[in-house]
């Protein structure tokens, strides 16, 4: 049976809040342990033995689970879609436990998507300061000269306020009117690869994530 751990960690693992947000909830007196309001940030509890409530809602301890999904193209990487498109919920519903994706992949992007019910683990992977590597294979229009490759490696200016971090990029193969690239990013801006390519005069024709934090979809 797990021993007592800090309350912030329990709330983060339960997906209730990040550790920083959990501290605010505790300080505001919105968390109870065994019926008693707690405001001490250093307090510990046993999620499997103690009754923990946030705003009156019971937090039930779950066994942490971790899955790798090889997401197909044409599937939304959320648990539901207002437009009625296929979502990953249709794929992972048979797991039998509540899970949610670590970050997202675009509707037309395939590849590695991690799923978990461990909020702290998910937040750690997605935090920009962690610089967690994500590797993609890209089918792009046109041919890439050295100037284009250097721009990707040094950082592409997307707008007046945003420049991408340096990327590790290599040409895999070339055809008369398109190029296959392998690129590793350590950040995750919205539609980043599409925007980078557009700024260089290219278009993403196909995109797949090969790995996330070194975890790949080999065999899936």
One of 90, 106, 118, 168 is an active-site residue; which one? 106
Neighbours of 23 (CB within 10 A): 15
Overall residue count recorded for the chain in this entry: 220
Q: Among this protein's residues, is 216 annotated catalytic? A: no
SS3 38: coil
Q: How far apart are CA 37 and CA 130, in angstroms?
A: 34
Angle among Cα 170, 173, 177 to the nearest 5 degrees reads 115
DSSP of 70-104:
EEPTT-BSSS--TT---BTHHHHGGG-S--EESS-
Catalytic residue positions? 106
């Amino acid at each position: 049976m797990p021993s007592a751990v800090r309350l912030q960690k329990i709330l983060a693992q339960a997906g209730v809040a990040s550790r920083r947000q959990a501290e605010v909830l505790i300080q505001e007196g919105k968390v109870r342990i065994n019926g008693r309001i707690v405001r001490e940030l250093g307090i510990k509890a046993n999620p499997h033995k103690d009754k923990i409530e946030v705003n009156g809602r019971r937090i039930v301890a779950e066994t942490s689970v971790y899955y790798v999904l090889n997401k197909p193209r044409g599937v939304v990487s959320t648990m539901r879609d207002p437009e009625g498109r296929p979502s990953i919920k249709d794929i992972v519903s048979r797991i039998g436990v509540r899970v949610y994706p670590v970050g997202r992949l675009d509707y037309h992007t395939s590849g590695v998507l991690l799923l978990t019910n461990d909020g702290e683990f998910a937040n750690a992977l997605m935090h920009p300061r962690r610089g967690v590597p994500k590797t993609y294979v890209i089918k792009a229009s046109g041919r890439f000269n050295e100037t284009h490759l250097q721009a990707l490696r040094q950082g592409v200016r997307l707008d007046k306020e945003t420049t991408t971090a340096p990327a590790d990029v290599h040409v895999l193969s070339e055809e008369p009117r398109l190029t296959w690239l392998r690129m590793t990013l350590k950040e995750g801006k919205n539609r980043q690869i599409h925007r980078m390519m557009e700024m260089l005069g290219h278009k993403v024709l196909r995109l797949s994530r090969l790995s996330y934090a070194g975890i790949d979809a080999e065999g899936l």
